[in-house]
Structure 1
Amino acid sequence: MALSRSSLQFWQLARVRVGFSIKKVGYSLLVPGLLIIISSIMVYWWPDLVRTVGDAGKANALLQLLPVLPYAVFSAGVIMGWRYSNTGMILGSAALALSYGCLAATGSGPGAVMGAGVLVMLPIDLFLLSLLTKRRLFTSLGMAALSVLVFQILSIWIFCEPGLTDLVNTTQQLSPELGKRFADIQTRLNLLFNNHSPLGMEHLSILGQVAFCWSFIVFIARLYFAPDQLGTGFFGALCAVFLGAVIGSPQAYMIFFFTAGLILLVTSIEASFSMAYMDELTGLPGRRSLNETMLNLGRKYVIAMIDIDHFKKFNDTYGHKTGDQVLKMIATRLGKMGGGAKTFRYGGEEFTAIFPGKEIFEALPHIEKYRLDIENTPFIIRSKGRKTSNASARGKEPAPTTKRVKVTVSIGVAEPTRALTKPEQVMKAADKILYKAKKSGRNCVKSSQD
């Protein structure tokens, strides 16, 4: 029976994780998706837009400047990446800028070997650079990524630029054998990058299609197992670049590469906002968000201070990683508290819930329901699995076991009074009442009305 319950909770937690991942990624994709839709509409209506702007006379000069706009967005991305020590953002924006410049100059259709080479390397680069969003540029890994990007640029330019016949002739004069190999590589790349599939993607070679397909698959897997805003931004940029590559017209490159750079820029701003206002471990708003919420409260509200009982002892017994799992569980259920509650992580094992426009008698049922929910939800601790890699010794080790422990919370609740007119005073009062709840035996709700 214990095993079946453990299995049931495992699948319940797995289902919650899947739902959380889909919800988080789905929310993060709203802005990139909207930008891509707008860009697609612009590409579709581009002839009419050009005709309308051309009829406007002086506005035609602005139309001539549009191809330069993507570089402004790419530059802003490099600057923001440099400001926040984000190697992925710096090199991702640079890769988009170089790729856009190459495609704008040479195109990517049959015979455009440089453009075809760019569309093979760029999707792979976008995925790999999305893994470096928390890395600094001037580190061994950051400089290695920069070196690889420079190597790609030089390789594509040397081996795929059809105008470098003088370089081939010079190489053959200096070393006939080396010149022959050089010319052979150019010929092979020409055949490889000009191999287009019969799927209607005449601007994207088969190798480019494989590169995009691989990037889409690994991106989706990454966002499922480790969803984050910056990763979602790179995925959105990949989608925009793919649409531009499929259409293959100069205006499609201009609009979709501009969109790709804009997506990276917007998601970087959103990620910076989340770092400042959201608690990374629990996903709840943090202290800065709490302080701003308190500044905008009216005259009627309720503040509840929530503390996990015996959390220090729990950490000492089972370890900090298990303690983090408890914090996540507490925060997940707190985020679902009813009554219009706004919930925050105050710090450590302490959380805050604010009920704007409510009085204590209105908020208490929701707070008590939350306490009971935590009390009645057993927390399962799994022992470490087998450590031995020797197949002959595995059967001799004891099987991993599970332990069910009870987690409870104590809650103090207060509201404004004649003596408590400021939110900070009400919070302090709720904190004092919280300690009364702990002295009363814990696992209970105490309010200023008790």
Structure 2
Amino acid sequence: MTAKLSPLLSRLTNFCWLFLPPLLFFSVLYGFYFFNTELLLSWIVNLWWMSYASLAIAAIIAWQFGRSRLVYACLLLLLIAANKELTLTPELFEVRYSGILFGFVFLLYSKDKGFSALNLCFSLTVLVMLFVLSWLAIPHILLVSQPWLTSLDSLLFQLSADIRSLLTPFNAMLLIIGLLLGLLRLFFKTDNTHNALYFALALSAFMHIYRDAEFALITIVSLACLFCYSVLKDSFTMAFKDELTGIPSRRALMQYVQTLGRKYTVVMSDIDHFKKFNDTYGHDVGDEVLKLVASKLNKVTGGGKTFRFGGEEFIIVFPRKTSAEVLPFVELVRQTIADYDIALRAKPRPAKPKKPLAGKKAPAKKPAKEQIVKVTTSFGVAQRSKEHSDFATIMKQADIALYAAKKAGRNCVKVAKQ
């Protein structure tokens, strides 16, 4: 039961860490706006152009980094920013509200597909069709959902007459459906892009409900900033985190080295017989082993920071510690990996099947049995000293110690002679 709950709790934790900061920011922003409206209006009364400028900047940045969905999101927000320039009848206003809502749901459930002519035409056609379908379908949906809308109308009126005056029951129903669909998608696909799109979905609806130009201005500018942040954050993650294992990459290591002082220890780790393991069980299983070992190394105690150096090699840096001080922590993580049982659900890579003799049927394939295997790791430890003060030299010393650990029979820790 605990094993089943662990991935769910991990997903919930990631969701909260991503979702709560923007929620807190917008809560503080709107609190300041509603309690200091006159002060804020004196600042932004002549800044109407900022909504267009911020959306243009966000769209250009998203375009450069291949985030097509954020570019389309900027186009949808542009329809709200151009509220003064557009003269909409009540019917067209409803179409714009539902079309933008459905558009953001579509963007949440689609993928970034680049900016080729075919992908651009497809995505823009889908967005236009959502507005057309909203225009054609709204009267029929209103008719079918009238019994539900009556009870929802009375509920809204009981909650607040002000809410009822701002939000029709039909719009409330669309908003609830859109928010639930978006939240479900964000929970199972928790990343910066989906987070930004979800806030755009929710706040675009609130901008339709609360029709105030200054409120729309600060919201659109804030959403544009959130779009830029999500693009830059994802790009940083791609550049400085290893895609397979999820731990910091070699580039992040080179940047981290610049922050180190004069006292630190470098540990180089390598998975024993990894090439043979790959040849026996296949590269897919090998990738899973790499992720497992990386996750264990990443939990090293004692203040160590783990990086994937390349292939099956990992680097752990312990700032402000000597080699003698880090040995217990390295030994603990080595033992943790050696004691861990890896359950393989696939058979080892089979030999080339022999052709059956004439008149005989090929033997039926037996289901693969679960197999338990173990992996071990070797470690080389080297600390910064007067003779070896350059990081590249310390790395070489750690590599020599790692070679000594391999020569000593593997699955052990060796310290460089310095």
TM-score range with shorter-chain normalisation? 0.7 to 0.9
1:447 aligns to what? 415
Whether 1:84 aligns to 2:65 is yes
1:149 aligns to what? 127
Cα deviation 1:55-112 (Å, max 9, x = unaligned): xxxxxxx5333333222221112101211122112111111112332488568xxx73
Contact 1:244 1:257 in 2 (8 A): no
1:216 aligns to what? 179
Aligned residue for 1:280, secondary structure, equals coil
2:12 aligns to what? 22
CA drift of 1:154 comes to: 6.8
Cα deviation 1:142-193 (Å, max 9, x = unaligned): 420122224455777xx5xxxxxxxxxxxxxxxxxxxxxxxx9897699899
Whether 1:136 aligns to 2:114 is yes
Change (3 A) 1:127 1:154: closer
Whether 1:340 aligns to 2:308 is no
Cα deviation 1:100-157 (Å, max 9, x = unaligned): 32488568xxx7333322221223322322455532121534420122224455777x
Mean Cα displacement is larger for which, 304-313 or 143-152? 143-152
1:166 aligns to what? none
Whether 1:256 aligns to 2:219 is yes
1:401 aligns to what? 369
Whether 1:416 aligns to 2:384 is yes
Aligned residue for 2:242, secondary structure, equals coil
2:284 aligns to what? 321
1:35 aligns to what? 25
CA drift of 1:365 comes to: 0.8
Mean Cα displacement is larger for which, 276-285 or 141-150? 141-150
Mind listing any 5+ residue stretches in structure 2 that lack a counterpart? 157-162, 348-363
Whether 1:119 aligns to 2:82 is no
Cα deviation 1:176-216 (Å, max 9, x = unaligned): xxxxxxxx989769989997952235444444434433333
Aligned residue for 1:67, secondary structure, equals coil
Distance in 1 between residues matched to 2:244 and 2:138, nearest whole Å: 51
Specify the code of the residue in structure 1 equivalent to 2:398: A
Whether 1:436 aligns to 2:404 is yes
Whether 1:372 aligns to 2:335 is yes
1:65 aligns to what? 46
Specify the code of the residue in structure 1 equivalent to 2:270: D
CA drift of 1:416 comes to: 1.4
CA drift of 1:403 comes to: 1.4
Contact 1:237 1:259 in 2 (8 A): no
Alignment of 1:272-283 (within 5 A): 272-283=235-246
Q: Which of 316, 325, 328 matches 1:362?
A: 325
Contact 1:25 1:232 in 2 (8 A): no
Distance in 2 between residues matched to 1:185 and 1:236, nearest whole Å: 26
Change (3 A) 1:399 1:95: same
Mean Cα displacement is larger for which, 90-99 or 244-253? 244-253
Whether 1:75 aligns to 2:53 is no
Aligned residue for 2:47, secondary structure, equals helix
Aligned residue for 1:66, secondary structure, equals coil
Contact 2:267 2:382 in 1 (8 A): yes
Across the two proteins, how many residue pairs are aligned to each other?
A: 391
Aligned residue for 1:404, secondary structure, equals strand
1:240 aligns to what? 203
Specify the code of the residue in structure 2 equivalent to 1:145: S
Cα deviation 1:356-407 (Å, max 9, x = unaligned): 11111111111111111111111111238xxxxxxxxxxx985663211102
Change (3 A) 1:15 1:331: farther
TM-score (norm 1): 0.77
Change (3 A) 1:340 1:43: same
Q: Which of 49, 54, 63 matches 2:39?
A: 49
Distance in 1 between residues matched to 2:60 and 2:374, nearest whole Å: 50
Mean Cα displacement is larger for which, 423-432 or 321-330? 321-330
Change (3 A) 1:202 1:120: farther
2:160 aligns to what? none
Specify the code of the residue in structure 2 equivalent to 1:78: A
Specify the code of the residue in structure 1 equivalent to 2:375: V
Contact 2:99 2:131 in 1 (8 A): no
Specify the code of the residue in structure 2 equivalent to 1:235: Y
Identity of aligned residues (%): 29
TM-score (norm 2): 0.83
CA drift of 1:18 comes to: 2.4
Distance in 2 between residues matched to 1:193 and 1:120, nearest whole Å: 15
Change (3 A) 1:300 1:68: same
Change (3 A) 1:300 1:431: same
Mind listing any 5+ residue stretches in structure 1 that lack a counterpart? 1-7, 54-61, 160-183, 385-395
Mean Cα displacement is larger for which, 233-242 or 408-417? 233-242
2:360 aligns to what? none
Distance in 2 between residues matched to 1:371 and 1:193, nearest whole Å: 63
Contact 2:103 2:130 in 1 (8 A): no
Distance in 1 between residues matched to 2:394 and 2:166, nearest whole Å: 65
Whether 1:93 aligns to 2:112 is no
Specify the code of the residue in structure 1 equivalent to 2:57: A
Change (3 A) 1:186 1:432: closer
